[in-house]
Amino acid sequence: MTREDFARAVSTETGFTIKDVKAVLGAIRKVLVEELKKQETVKFIDGITFESSMTEEYEMKSPRTGETLVVPARIKPRCKFGATLKRDINE
């Protein structure tokens, strides 16, 4: 399902215009990104949780050249699905 298909399905379900649904989805993404940058946990919809954590800088060797490279520290996002959502999907 593409973003367009998703927006159309939500539009059909809610009665909102596709344009409005896309605006809401864009706002959700913007807020989600800002909160994950701050390493906050976002409990989104029933059974979906977004989290992020900071990974430390580390060194690795390039398999091609054998050169040692430094991988910078970064924020790693994660998404967890709760038991309620898993149960609903499998019914």
Q: Work out the average pLDDT over 72-83.
A: 95
Question: What predicted TM-score, i.e. pTM, was given to this entire model?
Answer: 0.78
> In this structure, which amino acid lies at residue 58?
Y
Decide if 10 contacts 16 (C-beta within 8 A).
Answer: yes
Number of residues assigned to the chain? 91
Position 45 pLDDT exceeds 90: no
Q: Where are the beta strands (DSSP E) in the chain?
A: 42-44, 48-55, 58-61, 68-71, 74-81
Q: With residue 41 as reference, give the H or E element that holds it.
A: none
